[in-house]
Structure formats: C-alpha cells, structure tokens
C-alpha cells in the first residue's frame, strides 16, 4: 500500500461525506496488538490547543471502548465513496468481543506509520492519532432533544480527542 502524506484538513469534504453516508472505520488495538474495527458516524477534525485533532465518540458498551481506554493510539480509515457498505454495516452491528470483524469481512490490514497502529488497506484516507484528552458526554449539559433521540437508554459516549500524528491517502 503506497501512502501519500497529506495536510490533515485536505480531505475534510471526503471525511464529512463518509460520516454522513455509511460511516468510517475506527481501528484500535488490544495489548497484544490485535486490531478491532468499529464503524463510526460521528467524528470531527479541527485545531485544538494549536494542534490538528480528530475527535471520535465511543459508547462504554462497545468492545472498542475498552481498547480505547488502554491503547494510546488509534486510526480512522475512510473507505472509497460508495464502497465497503456491507463491511461498515457488519462492523457497526457486531462486537469484536464475539468475532474477528476484520477477518470475517475480508478486510486487509496494513501497518500504520506508527509501530502500534493498524489501518485498513481497503480504505483511501487515513488518520493515525494519539489520544491527548478524553471526556464524557454529560446528560446535564446536553439538549433534551438530543438525549431523547440518541441516548434513550442513557448510554452516553466518551469523547476522545486524538492528536493527528499522520494523515495520508492511498489509491486502492
């Protein structure tokens, strides 16, 4: 897989289109460096503390939550437009506790630029990040309509702010 570096904001339109369509993959590894992919539909890219930051949200009920709590680094992988819909649906509806989602979907892993980061080679845009801050969505600070629509069971997300260490693209 050929990796071509890019400015982190260069792919902002494609990043937003993916999230508003079928989603993107969040990849985190366990302590034995086994990667797990989870579909995300909510994320943000911007500048915080003078640094490029990618923010992801993970519910505590997800297998990925435990990985994010232990791993310092993670990747977000953006699939080609209109591709990998079945894989995104599978990774968003199954738990990595019960199966190897990457293997079952036939997705190809590749080493990231960082030694403890994996990416999905089937994708075209990649962000390797290091968690620099986390916080929790608090019910008391959230609009009632959002709570009713997205948190009817009270399973509020943890928000991870990751410094973007590398942003790159690849042709598949």
Residue-level pLDDT at 28: 97
**How many residues appear in the chain?**
172
Residue-level pLDDT at 172: 61
Does the predicted TM-score (pTM) go above 0.85?
yes
Residue-level pLDDT at 97: 87
pLDDT-flagged residues of the chain (< 70): 172
Number of domains in the chain: 1
Residue-level pLDDT at 70: 94
Domain of residue 144: give its range: 4-169
| Paired tokens of 149 | 């629509």
Long-range Cβ contacts of 95-103 (<8 Å, 24+ apart): 95/62, 95/63, 96/36, 96/37, 96/38, 96/63, 96/64, 96/67, 97/63, 101/36, 101/37, 102/35, 102/36, 102/37
What's 61's domain CATH number?
2.30.110.10
Contact status, residue 159 vs residue 48, Cβ threshold 8 Å = no
| Paired tokens of 61 | 């009920």
Query: Which distant-in-sequence residues (6+ apart) come within 8 Å of 110 by Cβ?
Result: 1, 118, 119, 120, 121
């Amino acid at each position: 897989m050929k990796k071509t570096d890019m400015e982190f904001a260069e792919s902002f339109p494609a990043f937003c289109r993916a999230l508003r369509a079928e989603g993107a993959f969040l990849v985190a590894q366990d302590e034995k460096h086994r990667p797990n992919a989870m579909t995300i539909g909510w994320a943000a890219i911007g500048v915080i503390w003078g640094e490029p930051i990618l923010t992801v949200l993970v519910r505590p009920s997800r297998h990925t939550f435990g990985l994010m709590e232990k791993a310092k680094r993670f990747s977000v992988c953006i699939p080609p437009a209109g591709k990998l819909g079945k894989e995104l649906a599978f990774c968003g509806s199954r738990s990595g506790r019960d199966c190897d989602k990457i293997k079952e979907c036939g997705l190809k892993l590749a080493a990231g630029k960082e030694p403890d980061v994996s990416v999905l080679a089937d994708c075209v845009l990649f962000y390797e990040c290091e968690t620099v801050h986390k916080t929790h969505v608090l019910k008391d600070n959230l609009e009632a309509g959002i709570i009713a629509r997205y948190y009817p069971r009270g399973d509020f997300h943890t928000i991870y702010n990751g410094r973007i260490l590398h942003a790159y693209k690849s042709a598949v």
